[in-house]
Amino acid sequence: NAGVTQTPKFQVLKTGQSMTLQCAQDMNHEYMSWYRQDPGMGLRLIHYSVGAGITDQGEVPNGYNVSRSTTEDFPLRLLSAAPSQTSVYFCASRKGQSYEQYFGPGTRLTVT
């Protein structure tokens, strides 16, 4: 199994540009989540999904959209990038609420 994969690894955007961060898992996990990690702030939940077709907001959802059309994929869309969205983004998945969570390697995003 490849586990949780994320692309790209690095990205630089200009303010106002849009882009999609890709996340995929091959473990048939129902739960998937997106986090951002900032120095001194820890990991904060952006959006999460408990199955295909079901998504919900986390702690910091503004400026981000998600959809879950398949079990495997959970892309994160930045609608209009802002410097405040400069961060490291992690995707994670787990089989269900009673199971451990697995993380992808992260995407380092810089918005200038």
How far, CA to CA in Å, does 16 sit from each of 26, 48, 81?
33, 24, 5
Q: Which of 34, 64, 74, 90 binds another protein (CB under 8 A)?
A: 90
Q: Which amino acid is at 99?
A: Y
Question: Which residue's CB is nearer to another protein, number 10 or number 14?
Answer: 10
Indicate the pairing of strand 107-111 with strand 87-94.
antiparallel
3-state helix, strand, coil in the chain (%, to 5): 5, 55, 45
Q: Which of 43, 67, 73, 95 binds another protein (CB under 8 A)?
A: 43
Q: Would you count residue 41 as binding another protein (CB under 8 A)? A: yes
Closest distance to another protein from the beta carbon of 80 (Å)? 26
Choose, by CB under 8 A, the member of 25, 33, 85, 87 that binds another protein. 33
In 27-106, DSSP assigns E strands to 31-38, 42-51, 54-57, 64-66, 76-78, 87-94, 102-103
Residues 64 and 56 sit within 8 Å (Cβ to Cβ): no
Binding-site string for another protein from residue 47 to residue 86, where x marks contact by CB under 8 A and - marks none: -x-x-------xx---------------------------
Work out how close the CB of 100 gets to another protein at its nearest, in angstroms, rounded to a whole number.
4
Task: Give the binding site for another protein (CB under 8 A).
Answer: 4, 31, 33, 35, 40-45, 48, 50, 58-59, 90, 92, 97-106
